[in-house]
Amino acid sequence: MAGSVPTEFSATDASGVPDIHAMIRDVGMELGQEHQDWCVEVWSQGATFAVVPGQMALKGMGMIAARKIKMHEQIVTIPKALVFSTDSILPEFKKRYAKLKVHALLAFALACEKSKASDRTRKWIKTWPTLKEFQTSMPIFLDSKYRRPLVISADDDNKGFCLLPPAIGGVWIDSAGKFETEFASAYMLPKQETRMKRDLTAMNGFASDQEISLKYNLGSNDLLTWMWLIVYTRSFYYDMPLRSRPKVLNEDKMCLCPFVDYFNHAEKGCKVAYNDEGFTVTADRDYEKGDEVMISYGAHNNDLLWTDYGFLLRDHSSDGICVDAWMLDPCTGIAEPETRRMLEDAGYWRNYIIGNDGPCYRTEMAIRTQILNREHWNCLVQGEEIPVSEDNYDRDAREFLREKVLKPCINTAKIAQMGIEAMSSQLSPTMSRFALERWKQIQVMVEKCL
């Protein structure tokens, strides 16, 4: 596997390892010594690459083409021996902590290994984001007071706002001024918190054992939290060996892949694949030397990217806005018990999305419950003709969407931006910037639908 990537690097040492320092200088990047050491280490262990890590403006680390790259060229290869998965963990360790979910098991193993890690593992850990970087960018670390309605000024209590969009925080202020929490557990941040709390509770249960704590120098809960976040944000889908592993949940099919974890996300990017030999990255197009090279983490909107990874895409053509907060407002009637049962029975309850192409079909069907009588709506669900002009009910549905969903959503976004600007000094610069930018994106996208 090693050597399958044409290097075309002029400077190498006696062992054939490229002069990483020269490669980095050639693309005009400043790179810390820990990252340079890691590049040398992974190459010496059989990896090959035509890209090098570099510090990207407002993005953290990313990958830069170290030379011209051709479409379909294999630009990174990582031997299986370098991949960190459950197969990398000693059998006795896995047996002792068998009750841990795979995510927690990987995180706990990393935490236990940190103080006794090999030189190679220590070099890898030095390249990871710090806990503080996660804390200043991910919504899960917001103080609880910022999860509830906030007021722009003491004498203007009608302008309450939520810092986080409803699709992330799962809470919102309805048209009557009520703080809505009924559906909170179904949204992104509450789900993430539940998973994190479950895993940290399980890990802390083992870490509290004095023998374990002293043996591995686990220290405070911060170490476990940091390692949990490393696995959460930097893992790749991995289901190896394909023929012998028992059936497991998709959320348990994960591993950490060194060097490949430097790549930033784009809607369309290079292809990441794995087989019995390890991981490969293949170019999706031609790249010039010095271009940033990215991969795709999946078809995710910006709410999920911010919640799960701590960043936003600025130009995101496939972004979408969950408008449940406005669709389920008391003024629409959609959340009334009878209507809710209709929508649940038909599979159209919640998850209403506005994208660059307008409302999704689920949104349209939910709105039609307020335009058509129940008999006609059920006919529509069954794909049968109804004795109502399609032009008429579509016109009424568009009017309903505009007046009861889109305009209130835009108003909410504007108030939220005012509030965030007024309180920006209370938040980390990154958190404030992301919150403001996301509400601006929501406003712009919804305005396009008017």
Q: Walk me through the domains of the chain, giving residue ranges and CATH numbers.
A: 20-83+257-307 (2.170.270.10), 86-137+189-253 (no CATH), 319-449 (no CATH)
Q: Looking at per-residue confidence, does 81 or 7 come out higher?
A: 81
Model pLDDT for residues 403-443, shown as the tens digit of each residue? 999 999 999 999 999 999 999 999 999 999 999 999 999 99
Which residues make Cβ contacts (< 8 Å) with residue 412, sequence separation at least 6? 161, 172, 173, 325, 326
Does the pLDDT at position 377 exceed 90?
yes
Listed in order, strand segments (DSSP E) in 27-186 are 48-49, 51-56, 60-65, 74-79, 150-151, 160-161, 172-173, 179-180
**Whether pTM exceeds 0.85:** yes
Does the pLDDT at position 3 exceed 50?
no
Cα distance between residue 269 and residue 285, in whole Å: 8
Q: Looking at per-residue confidence, does 59 or 307 come out higher?
A: 307
Residue 243's pLDDT band, with cuts at 50, 70 and 90, is: very low
What does the block give as tokens for 53?
């890590």
Average pLDDT, the chain: 88
Section 275-297 average pLDDT: 95
Query: Helix H segments across 69-187?
Result: 91-96, 102-114, 119-125, 131-135, 166-169
Alpha-carbon dihedral 371, 376, 381, 385, rounded to 10 degrees: -120
List of long-range contacts for 37-40, beta carbons under 8 Å, 24+ apart: 37/123, 37/126, 38/123, 38/124, 38/126, 38/127, 38/258, 38/259, 39/259
pLDDT attached to residue 155? 57
pLDDT attached to residue 113? 81
Does the pLDDT at position 21 exceed 60?
yes
pLDDT attached to residue 392? 80
Residue labelled with tokens 């050491």: 37
Which of 228, 197, 203, 229 shows the shortest CA–CA distance to 216? 203
Residue 152's pLDDT band, with cuts at 50, 70 and 90, is: confident
Of 7-21, 40-54, 196-210, highest mean pLDDT: 40-54
Cβ–Cβ under 8 Å, residues 413 and 442: yes
> First-to-last CA distance in the chain?
54
Does the pLDDT at position 14 exceed 60?
no
Q: Reduced to 3 states, what is the DSSP secondary structure of residue 20?
A: helix
Compute and round to an integer the Cα radius of gyration of the chain: 25
Model pLDDT for residues 115-129, shown as the tens digit of each residue? 666 778 889 999 999
DSSP 18: B
Residue labelled with tokens 């009910």: 393
- Give, for 23, the enclosing helix (H) or strand (E): helix 20-26
Longest dimension (CA), the chain: 82
Cα distance between residue 133 and residue 84, in whole Å: 23
